[in-house]
Structure 1
Amino acid sequence: MDLQVLIAAAADVCLKPQRHAVVPVVGESNVNGAVDLTADDAHLRIESRDPGGDRRPELDLELEIYRSGADLHLMLSWWQQDERPLLWQGSHPVWMDGSSGQRCERPRDGAPLEALARRLRALLCGSDL
């Protein structure tokens, strides 16, 4: 299955009732706009729409997927909201302050992002990314 479709479907499940599309961040895609599955990392934007189809850019997320050795890691953050915490997901979740990079508590609305990160990591670790 296409990586972008897989990520959008996972976001739809974890971040209800929003619907999602996944687009590569400029410079991270090949000529047809798809993510290069042979690369060791990907940089994507998860775009949100409400159930009526209206864009909700304040709910958009940034997703970075990268390998460190044999391990797969994810970084999830709110798109262009650097003041908000970001989530690093490796073998366990770690929330970091968006400005300082220091470890911090999970934000009030962070549980769905943790669920998405866990789901994506489980799906991607089982694939040939």
Structure 2
Amino acid sequence: MNLLETYLHQDSTPETAKEIVLWWEKRRLKYNLVYFLTSLTWLLLASIFVRSKLFFGFGLIVMTAVPANACYCLGWITEIVLRKGIHPLDLKIGPLFLGLGTVFTVAGLLLYGLLDILYKLL
């Protein structure tokens, strides 16, 4: 099993809210690692191409990590609501939401970094 499969793997469909939250929280550290490495990538590229100040960039990473983790919490909250409240599902929607959320986070950070670099170059 590769890293992505391990990250998104779900043995069985969670039955309780506690199982759903535990599944998500076991992956939060990996999500934050992906977030930090992506942020660090654009920060280093910005410092190379436009001589941005690294100190400001690290502050920005920390400031944006809070909303990113709040959005991460929306993943398990949404899964609980969909499973228990609105429409009972037998699907493994946790891996789908986690995968899409991670892709959205990485794409958003890279787009922001690219726009930041282009803005400073022009």
Settle same-fold status: TM greater than 0.5.
Answer: no
TM-score (norm 2): 0.26
Q: Which has the higher contact order (CA 8 A, sep 6+)?
A: 2
Q: Which has the higher strand share?
A: 1
Structure number, greater radius of gyration: 2
